[in-house]
Amino acid sequence: MEQSKNTHKIKENKYLYVASISMLLYSLLEIADSIAIILIAFNIIPNIYIEWGIPVIQQLMDTQPLSLAPIFWAFTMMRTVSAIGLMKNLLWGFWIGMGSILITMILTVLFLPIGAIELLACAIIFILLVMGYCKDKPII
């Protein structure tokens, strides 16, 4: 009973509610990425990713895509767990989301030019999470 009350409260905070839905959609994209990396590794589909900013990463994607799979899977797990936690209005979901978003924002430089789009998406979710967490609290 208590859990359903908490879940309902997330809908009252529009910023956190939109952030949780955005994180859920983002995690679905990460799941698709995780599946794609396996399909690319077994030559079921061609490499669907555009050029990466760092030549080493591009070379790994072309020759050993499974070596990058743990990175894809880690972010998939963090985003999915965060989305579930946020939807249930649990604080650990917020902090896992903040951590995964901040790490992604730092690492997007390695994944340019597509990283710029991901940076924008992360920035939007980051802003929504901060605004939802702080609500209308004054600074001082």
Predicted confidence (pLDDT) at residue 3 exceeds the cutoff of 70: no
Whether 5 shows a pLDDT value over 70: the answer reads no
What is this structure's pTM? 0.84
Domain segments of the chain as ranges: 2-134
**Residue 114: is its pLDDT beyond 80?**
no
Q: What was the pLDDT predicted at 6? A: 65
**DSSP classification of residue 12:** H
Residue with tokens 């030559």: 43
Is residue 18 scored above 90 in pLDDT?
yes
pLDDT for the residue 47: 80
Predicted local confidence at residue 57, as pLDDT: 77
Rounded to the nearest integer, the mean pLDDT of the chain is 87
Q: Count CA within 13 A, CB hemisphere, residue 75.
A: 24
Q: What is the pLDDT of residue 17?
A: 94
